[in-house]
Amino acid sequence: MSSPAATATATDVPVSPAVSSAPSGSPASPASPDLQASPGPRRAALLDSVLPLLMDVGVPLVAYYALKAAGASTFAALAWSSVVPVIRIAWSALRERRLNGLAALMVTVNVVGLLTSLVAGDPRLMLAKDSGVSSAIGIVVLVAAWRGRSMMSAGVRPWLVKGNADRDAAWQRLSAGSAAFRRAEKRFSVVWGTALLGECVVRTVGAYTVPVETMVWLGTVIMVATMVAAFLVSGRVSAVPMDRMIDAAVRRERATDAAH
């Protein structure tokens, strides 16, 4: 299963607010937004932003590979690793009256994996089926983006809020009230959905046009190249602008608080 990997890490080491070296009576220089959060709020914000990703993606992946390592079949490992996402979907639907997008995506991926695990045939068909999961993710992400829901936001949010409570609050305000920010979220999903769907198309075409022994290793090269390209493009057109908007929102909020 292909999933976007994190490109940045957050630190839990608290940093004291910057102290101005200006002469007495001069206004102190404001500290960077990332330097003013105390350890407690930082950890709470980091946990709040990372927990959905861990529960909806991390737990199923760990369960799948643990079951495979324990000797379970691919079918059984996929089926059992879907239990937590299914529970999460039901919980969100009943308690919060909303669809848990990440959990639904993982269930979709596992269902596609279950179906493709039953496929048997010539070597070219076996190579082509490897791209089935990527296509499923790409289609779901693109359809969700078309309907106004950015399913990839949960993946990028931890690396933009950086465990900072003020940045996390700014994310929530911008996501709820800023059209520009929501467009950037949507672009992030569109880039990844397009990349994954494109990878599926290229690998499927390759499976039936390139010699089998070449496609065995070339498929991995295509997948890695797709991930790298998606990281670079999504960072440029979405993550960087979102980061700047969050910085600006944090500074505006602090300026407003200081004025009062």
Q: Is residue 179 part of a domain?
A: yes
Give the Cα separation of 163 and 59 in Å (integer).
21
Give the end-to-end CA distance of the chain in Å, rounded to a whole number.
51
- Burial state string for 112-141 with b = 16 or more CB within 10 A and e = fewer than 16: bbbebbeeeeeebeebbbbbbbbbbbbbbb
Q: Which is it for the CA torsion 177, 181, 182, 183, positive or negative?
A: positive
Last residue of a domain, one of 118, 146, 172: 118
Regarding whether 187 and 139 lie in a shared domain, the answer is yes
Give the Cα separation of 87 and 71 in Å (integer).
25
79: tokens are 């089926």
pLDDT attached to residue 40? 56
Regarding whether 78 and 104 lie in a shared domain, the answer is yes
Query: What beta strand segments (E) does the chain contain?
Result: none
pLDDT attached to residue 44? 58
Regarding whether 109 and 227 lie in a shared domain, the answer is no
Regarding whether 98 and 133 lie in a shared domain, the answer is no
Q: Which is it for the CA torsion 212, 133, 53, 172, positive or negative?
A: positive
Give the Cα separation of 132 and 173 in Å (integer).
37
Regarding whether 138 and 212 lie in a shared domain, the answer is yes
Give the Cα separation of 40 and 245 in Å (integer).
24
Regarding whether 191 and 233 lie in a shared domain, the answer is yes
> Which residue, 68, 157, 56, is CA-closest to 108?
56
The whole model's pTM is what?
0.66
Regarding whether 224 and 127 lie in a shared domain, the answer is yes
Q: Is residue 186 part of a domain?
A: yes
Regarding whether 137 and 96 lie in a shared domain, the answer is no
Q: pLDDT tens digits, the chain, 260 residues: what are they?
A: 444 333 333 333 333 333 333 444 444 444 444 444 455 555 555 555 566 667 766 777 788 788 878 888 777 877 888 787 788 778 777 776 766 666 677 777 777 777 776 766 677 877 777 677 778 888 888 998 998 888 888 888 888 988 888 998 999 999 999 999 999 999 999 999 999 899 989 988 998 898 988 988 888 899 889 989 999 999 999 999 999 999 999 999 999 888 87
- Count of positions (residues) in the chain: 260
Regarding whether 140 and 114 lie in a shared domain, the answer is no
pLDDT attached to residue 6? 36
pLDDT attached to residue 209? 92
Angle (CA) 198-200-203 rounded to 5° is 105
User: Helix 240-259 vs helix 165-177: angle between axes, to the nearest 10 degrees?
Assistant: 110
How many structural domains is the chain composed of?
2
pLDDT attached to residue 173? 93
Regarding whether 244 and 151 lie in a shared domain, the answer is yes
pLDDT attached to residue 48? 58
- Residue 224: which domain range? 121-255
pLDDT attached to residue 47? 57
126: tokens are 């076996």
